Chain A
Amino acid sequence: MTEQRLTDLGMPQRPFAITLDVGSSLANHTGTWRTERPVYVSNLPPCNHACPAGEDIQQWLYLAEEGGYEAAWRRILADNPFPAIMGRVCYHPCETACNRAEIDEAVGINAVERFLGDQARVEGWALPTPAPGSGKRVLVVGAGPSGLSAAWFLRLLGHDVTLRDAEDRPGGMMRYGIPAYRLPRDVVDEEIARIETLGVHFELGSRVDDLEPLLATYDAVFLAVGAHVGRRAYVPAGEAARIVDAVSLLHDVEGGTAPLLGRTVAVYGGGNTALDAARTARRLGATDAVVVYRRTRDRMPAHDSEVQEALDEGIRMKWLSTVKHADEGVLLIEKMELDETGFPQPTGEMEELAADSLVLALGQDADLALLDGLDGITTTGGVVDVDPSMMTGRIGLFAGGDMVPSDRTVTVAVGHGKTAARHIDAWLRGTTCPPVPQRSLAAFDDLTTWYYSDAPHRVRPRLEGARRAGTFDEVVQGLDPESALFEARRCLSCGNCFGCDNCFGVCPDNAVKKIGAPGPGGYEFDFDFCKGCGLCVAECPCGAITMVPEE
């Protein structure tokens, strides 16, 4: 402005020798210096990536950190109807993937999930409301984790769902395969009851033998009959040898008709079921339970936590051994050795092992008799082939859980149920399931771990080994509220803003603005002044900002 005009506007005359008005540096838009600009991102945390049920773990931990337990629980329910069950039986691949393990120890995600699941049971939080009725009828065969999960999500999507199971009580392997000391039955009952409350029709004690007429009656069918047939292996045995299979043993214990096993019990196999059988045998009164396995502990398919718990309870392990012959009260054992490839080879060296009975835990097969005669179905290795939408070769017939190719865990089964439900819904509505947007994985190297406090893992209390071996009481206990909150707050929030204000604080140019409550979406860059130095990116604890080239 000219001096004349300023004077006209009533501006004061300048002092002697001053020719320019004082101005603010705000007029100097230093954003023009920039060659790269920061942008906020939301990357995929490794826990979420690893979850077979597709839970958004980082998100529900984020909600739990503020004590928003009900919101956190609802976030879990969006992907998994069984937080309290998951918090007990899931083998938590999330914790194996957790970035925090590189600093101290993985976050106790499973323990927090159990805490949330149990809070819901105590407080009786209301269930979500199903979508308006679609008029479509869906049959789910098998009330195990996969079938229940599918029923839950299909019902929430507005469909009329009928759930049939051969057993008198729902739960499948959660009830008939997992012993009560790992999964108390009241937890199973309460979480399954929600599905009935939601409006799913249960038809129990009604085995499905002929699918063809049902396929005509229902708009879609989801099969999840599990794998309940104990695998047979030929063990030469004398007349009086007592041999049972582990699946039947666990099933009969649940049904109250446990077989008499005797004082000494040998279990043949190296999976989780073998350990469950051995631990159950101890609880049924066996003074000595021995697991006989062909290889070594590090090659055992059973999870380490279960092996440790079994050892704590006094279960003995006989590594590098096979059962050659079973007779009354005694087994003939052959010693094995591992070859270069890790495969066990016989040595010809024999010994005897006293055992009143032998439990075979050599794997399970699915009973696929109900598929006989159906067109289009193919199987591979005793399980049913499905496409990525979980549909079998028969149009409108979907399948999941242990009867399709996969890892056989409760969490995988729940994930199958959810995936199938979404595709069944899309199929019934004549659309396709929208693909899940791909996010880049949040790596440990993206984190600036300086900012996280040193906070050791809080462990869940356990019943002592000697005390628990004689009872079916739950072995692993829950976290108290303080420990649960502590554990949730150990989350590093990998790849997702958690509202620490660091970007706002470390910008030398005041070019980060707060536009709401701290947290995702709570900040914005002022590109008039951002010089593109990248300090906000380098100092973001969780790697939720990245630099992109300026256009």
Chain B
Amino acid sequence: MTEAPIRFYQVGSFAVGNRLLPLEVRTVQAESDRSNAITSGHRACQGCGEALGARYALDAAMAATKGQMFAVNATGCLEVFSTPYPETSWRLPWLHSLFGNAPAVATGVAAALKAQGRDDIRVVAQGGDGGTVDIGFACLSGMFERNDDVLYICYDNEGYMNTGVQRSGATPPAARTMTTQAVGDDPGNVFGQGKDVPRIAMAHEIPYVATATVADLHDLEAKATKAMSMRGARYLHVLVPCPLGWGSESSATLAVARGATQSGLFPVFEAEGGEVTGVTPIRRQVPVEDYLSMQKRFAHLFSPRRRDDVIARVQAQADKNIRRYGLLEES
């Protein structure tokens, strides 16, 4: 765990802030003068996890770099809802190019800054899971391979939500999307496909790889801050629930993200140089069923016929994560 041990305050390290906490222990999001890198008036859906994740990560990075920062954005929900021409929600220098080349464009920006001798300005690239895991993956792998000085943040909502909820390489097995419909004997996305990009990133042995969710702000901010303290290629994979695509309540975005981590389906860890250096242990373990039943994209596992066999396969996946990362070993 990257965070300090639990304090005995009314809220310890879990809430955004607390009037009882010393200033240095509060989150960036607790401060009135946070940069609000993505400001009000954006057109994201109610309860959008990605809008929240982007603000969390970028505000922390802005605080860590004292605002000396440049963002490159892949095509996707985040770009579309924040930047319908001519209006923008971004309050930092921001560049959009194509769906698949954000890592390459960011690399170019970093190279240009280096050529100008501006090592004080840091570069962040960001995109959804479609632009990262699938379409932009070659550029991303190249960026890792060259160890370019860029932090790439993937906001993973497990599908192409902007274009109408299609399957991506990050869509979990058994999930219903428009292209993996809930019809037939084995409905939903198939088992055994897709990509675990955090582990692929680790295989590149880049300086820093981490996963996080919008449900643990302290952890997410600590990782964004740490990433900005380092040079070279860094990768932050943030789980951002999508109320529309996942069929969850708009008020349940953080609860769903918590369910993903507490079931073990989304392991939260960090790695340096290809080795896992820290995990966030599960605090209150829940069966995967609790997580799945919060989302309509898994409704076909419960009705009209309960699919205990499929639920058991998903549980086995969670158990494997728990073993692999030691998510229950410390408390």
Chain A positions within 8 Å of B, measured between CB atoms, are 20-30, 33, 65-66, 450-455, 486, 489-493, 498-502, 504-506, 508-511, 514, 517-519, 526, 528-529, 531-535, 537-539, 541
Contacts and interface: CB of A to CB of B under 8 A. Distances in A.
Contacts of A526: 40
Count class of interface residues, chain B: 35 or more
B86 to A, nearest CB: 4
Interface string B1-27: 000001111111111111110000011
30 contacts: A20-B85, A22-B87, A23-B88, A25-B41, A26-B41, A28-B43, A30-B40, A66-B19, A489-B10, A490-B10, A498-B10, A501-B27, A501-B29, A501-B30, A502-B15, A504-B17, A504-B29, A506-B16, A508-B47, A508-B49, A509-B41, A510-B39, A510-B55, A531-B46, A533-B243, A533-B250, A533-B251, A534-B249, A535-B251, A538-B254
B42 interface: yes
Nearest to A29: B41
A508 B251 contact: no
The interface centre, meaning the residue of A452, A499, A514, A535 with most chain B CB atoms within 10 A of its CB, is A535
Contact of B14 (A30, A452, A517, A531): A452
Nearest to A519: B19
A33 B47 CA distance: 12
B47 A533 contact: yes
A404 B255 CA distance: 51
Given A27-B41, A27-B87, A517 B6 contact: no
Interface in B228-275: 243, 249-255, 258
A453 B20 contact: no
Nearest to A500: B15
A171 to B, nearest CB: 37
Contacts of A529: 40-41
A501 B15 contact: yes
Interface of B: 6-20, 26-27, 29-30, 32, 36, 39-44, 46-49, 51-52, 55, 82, 85-89, 217, 243, 249-255, 258, 284
Contacts of B85: 20
Contacts of A509: 40-42, 44, 51
A489 B8 CA distance: 7
A258 B82 CA distance: 84
Contacts of B55: 508, 510
Contact of A26 (B17, B39, B284): B39
Contacts of B40: 25-26, 30, 509-511, 526, 528-529
A26 B89 CA distance: 7
B96 to A, nearest CB: 13
B39 A33 contact: no
Contacts of B88: 22-25
B39 A537 contact: no
B26 A501 contact: yes
Given A28-B42, A502-B16, 9 more contacts: A21-B86, A22-B88, A24-B41, A25-B88, A29-B41, A451-B15, A508-B44, A529-B41, A533-B250
B10 A505 contact: no
Contacts of A28: 41-43, 87
Contact of A501 (B18, B43, B89): B18
A505 B36 CA distance: 11
B63 to A, nearest CB: 14
Contacts of A532: 46
A27 B41 CA distance: 7
Given A500-B15, A502-B15, A30 B41 contact: yes
A537 B51 contact: no
Nearest to A518: B19
Contacts of B18: 498-501, 518
Would you list the 3 A-B pairs with minimal beta carbon distance, nearest first?
A505-B16, A501-B17, A453-B12
A138 B7 CA distance: 52
Contacts of B255: 538
B199 to A, nearest CB: 28
A533 B9 CA distance: 29
Nearest to B28: A505
B129 to A, nearest CB: 18
Contacts of A517: 19
Contacts of B87: 22-25, 27-28
A452 B13 CA distance: 9
B168 to A, nearest CB: 22
Contacts of A538: 249, 251-252, 254-255
Given A22-B88, A501-B29, A510-B36, A455 B19 contact: no
A506 B29 CA distance: 8
A12 to B, nearest CB: 15
B14 A451 contact: yes
A114 B86 CA distance: 64
A455 B16 contact: no
Contacts of B250: 533-535
Contacts of A65: 10, 20
A541 B255 CA distance: 12
Contacts of B17: 499-502, 504-505, 518
Given A20-B86, A26-B40, A501-B18, A508 B6 contact: no
A452 B11 contact: yes
A501 B29 CA distance: 8
B51 A25 contact: no
A376 B251 CA distance: 60
Given A489-B20, A510-B40, A538-B255, A453 B48 contact: no
Contacts of A24: 39, 41, 87-89
B251 A534 contact: yes
Contacts of B49: 508
A362 B250 CA distance: 60
B161 to A, nearest CB: 14
A66 B20 contact: yes
